[in-house]
A and B are shown apart, each in its own frame.
Chain A
Amino acid sequence: MLIFGFSLPTLPALALGDSTVTLEDVTPPVAPRGDLPPSEERIAKLFENNTFSVVNVFDTTLKPELNLTGSVEVPEGNGTGIVWDKDGHIVTNYHVIGSALSKGLGKKKPVARVSLLVEDGVQKTFQATLVGADKTKDLAVLKIDAPEALLHPISVGKSSNLKVGQRCLAIGNPFGFDHTLTVGVVSGLNRDINSQTGVIIGGGIQTDAAINPGNSGGPLLNSEGKLIGINAAIFTRTGTSAGIGFAIPVDAVSRVVPQLIKYGKIMHAGLKIQVAPDIVAKQLNVKKGSLVLSVLPSSTAAKAGLVATRRGIAGNILLGDVILAVDNLSIKNPPELAKALDDHEIGDRVVLKVQRDDKVFDIHVELEESLN
């Protein structure tokens, strides 16, 4: 039997074997709906108001690849960023543009392409230059030259009064699906985030809103639409969301970003010393604490009497001081030492518990800018 085009409604319904059935008979009516319930309306509005503050960030040194089916495969350098102010500053994670940063593109060449949402679905792309970046906080600030009318800065909130259980929303670009909204609650506070940059960031906010690769650098908002964190990491065995995501708290971001904008870097509180990495420490039989390898001569650490590792007359190695604790917080390894000192401000006086040969005693020292 010949089959004609789709548009004849009286075509015999071959499959039903009943030629009286028309298209209308099998097209159900659309049931109308009322207004959305208030809580849903609120979240829908929150998204609509804040999505323009969220941008796509593409690391320029990474190239998208076409695979066999002709669809565009977007590599992990694709992340999210947040419009910070009307000057065109964009905040994102250090690791989102890590490839460009490691190639040392510096301040002249653009490190990323940033896409702003102009209207629903329409995006405009700008070249972004690097303003400042800090690996230890996994944050970076970019700048784009966009007209003020297109820039919608995010509303910054506070993270000091967050409560576990409160609702939070994440907007980002997981797997390249731009401006994706996921919703969850604050699952935990004060978590240690194992950042992709290799450092531990303290005070992290844990959430079960689905966070995936591509969400990095994007905002975590509270139910008033205020920024409470920047999504940075996930705990997963599969590489995708398992309901455990971490955000850098906004209070830390608010301290760091102005410094990055003004100075291009952050002044970290610490000591002008070098400590032994784990491998070296193990070889020298130092199992706990941080072994001091060298102390800068004019530093506060030197003035406080901290002793470095040196060679004896016979050529043997004389171990320097091993820092066991900072202000009674015990230190197991170099990253913990860096984090403990970084939690302070430059100029703070701290008490180091130090082991020298067989003796354990305290050294009081004033913190200055750390060696990086």
Chain B
Amino acid sequence: TTRSVVAIQDLDLSSNVAAVDMDDGEIQGIGSGFVWDRFGHIVTNYHVISKIAKDTSGKKQIKVVLLGLNGDVDSYNAAIIGLDASRDLAVLKIEVPESSVLRPAVIGSSKDLRVGQNCYAIGNPYGYEHILTTGVVSGLCRQIPSPSGKPIFGAIQTDASINAGNSGGPLLDSFGRVIGINTATFTRRGSGTSSGVNFAVAIDLVRQVVPHLIVEGAVSSSRSVERGVLGPPRYLSLP
């Protein structure tokens, strides 16, 4: 799985330079993502790249960093293919010299998940150093807010820590299959610290939405609210 999990970085180009020179930019790791297919599509959370997505200055470039065949760390420019703020999903695309460089993640299913089974949240915030937090599935079918304000249904709750580093990266089961995308952690009124109550968007939903984002490039409603972590609203898990 290590080669399937990528870093998503925001390259801020200096404002006075006309020609793009990599060294003049300021790179900020902003989250993780994972390789979806051999075409070079990368899946992550909308909120990980929403700032860049809304930037109109043309001075920001998303870079995707992944582990290559020989253990090299390669960085690629990424284009935004599709966004869905209502499900907090985004699809990027990178151009690679040959498709064997890409190792698509093994996709699982979220419908047969059981509370109590182990899960592993992986991130790769810098591109070369994977971070792993572990825990169990704490609850299922939770409702969490999305950046658009509409709720996301069917979210997986876990006590594995989810933070800025692994946000957008995959949540795996013990079989190494992706069962969700690490999306949010519950914090009390913006204290910013994790509470052991964390959420991932379920893979079944991702698997329905991402192909449409790729093929149709749908962009969600323009009403967007920045939500990297869950704020004050607390949701009852309604039957």
Contacts and interface: CB of A to CB of B under 8 A. Distances in A.
A104 to B, nearest CB: 29
Contacts of B27: none
B215 interface: yes
A177 B237 contact: yes
A160 interface: no
Nearest to A242: B193
A238 B173 contact: no
Interface string B116-133: 111000000000000000
Nearest to B213: A15
A27 interface: yes
B71 interface: no
A2 interface: no
B136 interface: yes
A15 B214 contact: yes
B159 interface: yes
Given A72-B236, A123-B239, A22 B215 contact: yes
A contact residues, range: 35 or more
Interface string A179-223: 111110000000000000000000000000111100000000000
A11 B216 contact: yes
B195 A241 contact: yes
Interface stretch (B9-17, B49-57, B58-66, B184-192): B184-192
Contacts of A209: 159
Contact of A174 (B36, B41, B195): B195
A21 B36 CA distance: 15
A181 B116 contact: yes
Given A16-B81, A73-B233, A43 B107 contact: no
B216 A31 contact: no
Interface string A63-93: 0000101011110000000000000000000
Nearest to A183: B136
B228 interface: no
B135 interface: yes
Interface in B182-223: 186-188, 191, 193-197, 207, 210-212, 214-217
B197 A174 contact: yes
A210 B136 CA distance: 11
Contact of B196 (A48, A51, A212): A212
Contacts of A73: 232-234
A180 B138 contact: yes
Nearest to A36: B117
A122 B239 contact: yes
A240 B215 contact: no
A243 B159 CA distance: 11
B117 A43 contact: yes
Contact of A177 (B82, B188, B197): B197
B201 to A, nearest CB: 16
Interface string A3-23: 100100101011110000111
Contacts of A27: 207, 211
Contacts of B236: 72, 74, 176-178
A71 B235 CA distance: 7
Nearest to B196: A210
A127 B129 CA distance: 53
B115 A212 contact: no
Contacts of B107: 28-31
A25 B214 CA distance: 10
A14 B108 contact: no
Given A30-B108, A36-B174, A21 B215 contact: yes
A185 to B, nearest CB: 13
Nearest to B141: A121
Contacts of B139: 177-181
A69 B157 CA distance: 22
A210 B195 contact: yes
A312 interface: no
Contacts of A346: none
A46 B157 CA distance: 18
A64 to B, nearest CB: 9
Contacts of B68: none
Contacts of A357: none
A34 interface: yes
Contacts of B112: 33
A181 B140 CA distance: 10
A315 interface: no
B82 A241 contact: no
Contacts of A36: 114, 117, 174
B104 interface: yes
Interface in A327-358: none
B196 A16 contact: no
A368 to B, nearest CB: 44
> Top 5 A-B pairs ranked by shortest CB distance?
A210-B196, A240-B195, A44-B116, A15-B217, A43-B116
11 contacts: A23-B211, A36-B174, A51-B115, A71-B235, A72-B234, A174-B195, A175-B234, A209-B159, A210-B197, A239-B188, A241-B197
Given A240-B186, A240-B191, 7 more contacts: A15-B82, A27-B211, A71-B145, A121-B239, A175-B186, A183-B116, A211-B196
Interface of B: 36-37, 39, 41, 79, 81-82, 93, 104, 106-109, 112, 114-118, 135-139, 141-142, 145, 149, 151, 157, 159, 173-175, 177, 186-188, 191, 193-197, 207, 210-212, 214-217, 232-237, 239
Interface of A: 3, 6, 9, 11, 13-16, 21-23, 25-31, 33-34, 36-37, 40, 43-48, 51, 67, 69, 71-74, 121-123, 174-183, 209-212, 238-243
